[in-house]
Amino acid sequence: MTLAAINRFPIKSCRGAAASEAVVEPWGLAGDRRWLVVDEDGVLITAREQPRMLLVVPTPTSDGALHLASPDAPELTVPVPGGDELVPVRVWGTELLAAPAGLEAAAWFSKIVGGAARLVYLDDPTRRHPNPQFARPTDYVSFADGYPLLLATTGSLHQLNDWIAVGPRPEEGPVPMIRFRPNVVIDGSDPFAEDGWRRLRIGAATFRAVKGCDRCVMTTTDADTARRGKEPITTLARYRRWDRATWFGMNLIPDTPGATIHVGDDVEILDEVPAPDGPPR
């Protein structure tokens, strides 16, 4: 098995970019989901309710700033906040502090979402921990949904697209891997073998596979147009539904922060169990 792709998403729920290599940090890949859009109460805003956020293209600049482009607003470059001012934000069930990116960025994203919004930066990623049911007290996570990295496999995507092709909405397939927004994509495994993985090595980095990923309406949104359909959730609900959720991919926690992974790296499964006939945990 090999590492087929690396993806980073600088702002949660906005466009990501492929990379040929990435440094693994305790809270995720370097540059991944350190920025977040929140409403006037500090509650996260995502593409679940604002699908046109997927059309926002954030590009880190050489001096550390973030360049923003969107069909809905003029281009803007936002410097990284210094962290002198902090505001409370809420990411699902977690409350923490983050650094606001300023009034110009707030006005820019308010135009994108059609209401009051602010852009914030996680200046100290040690403020947030993954679910302790699946993580250690020393584990951290950025503004990702719940865990530092998300893994998906090409074998599982091919199987899913085969199912879509013979389902009620074949015209909505095949769906591309980017719909699932994985950080790492593994090639060479059997479909859904990852359900049983517990520890793996990618190049020089090792990870715990701690929990399957339950999928939401974002996967039904075309990242190029922001239009929504029914797939892949309709098909996942037929074949991959347990505990009132649909499942695709595995959440990872790094055990070797500081290692660099590269597209083409060998992948080795260090610990696994038979892929369960039920929720991948």
Q: What's the pLDDT score for residue 22?
A: 98
Q: What's the pLDDT score for residue 45?
A: 98
Task: In whole angstroms, give the CA distance from residue 66 to residue 76.
Answer: 8
Per-residue pLDDT tens over the stretch 266-275: 999 999 998 7
Q: Are strands 245-254 and 241-242 parallel, antiparallel or unpaired?
A: antiparallel
The letter for the amino acid at 252 is L
Contact indicator for 18, 185 with CB cutoff of 8 Å? no
State mean pLDDT over 3-18.
98
| 279 pLDDT higher than 80 | no
Task: In whole angstroms, give the CA distance from residue 27 to residue 149.
Answer: 8
Q: List residues bridging with 148 in a β-sheet.
A: none
What band does 277 get if pLDDT is binned at 50, 70 and 90?
Answer: low
60 to 50, 123, 228, 234, 243: CA distances (angstroms): 23, 15, 28, 35, 39
State mean pLDDT over 32-53.
97
Could you tell me the two tokens for 47? 């593409």
Neighbour count for residue 235 (Cβ, 10 Å): 25
What band does 25 get if pLDDT is binned at 50, 70 and 90?
Answer: very high
Q: What's the pLDDT score for residue 49?
A: 95
| 218 pLDDT higher than 90 | yes
Let me know if 166 is exposed, middle or buried by CB neighbors in 10 A (0-12, 13-18, 19+): exposed
Task: In whole angstroms, give the CA distance from residue 217 to residue 211.
Answer: 19
What does 169-219 look like in DSSP terms, one character per residue? -GGG-PPPGGGG--SEEEESPPTTGGGGEEEEEETTEEEEEEEEEEE-GGG
Query: Model-level pTM?
Result: 0.95
> Which positions ≥6 away from 149 have C-beta within 8 Å?
24, 28, 29, 32, 183, 184, 207, 251, 252, 253, 254
Per-residue pLDDT tens over the stretch 231-265: 999 999 999 999 899 999 999 999 999 999 999 99
Domain ranges of the chain: 2-28+131-272, 34-124
Per-residue pLDDT tens over the stretch 147-159: 999 999 999 999 9
What band does 280 get if pLDDT is binned at 50, 70 and 90?
Answer: low
257 to 8, 30, 49: CA distances (angstroms): 16, 10, 33
Q: What's the pLDDT score for residue 113?
A: 96
* HSE of 80, CA atoms in CB hemisphere, 13 A: 14
Q: What's the pLDDT score for residue 278?
A: 54
Topology adopted by domain 2-28+131-272: M1 Pyruvate Kinase; Domain 3 (2.40.33)
State mean pLDDT over 46-63.
95
Q: Round the average pLDDT of the chain to a whole number and report it.
A: 96
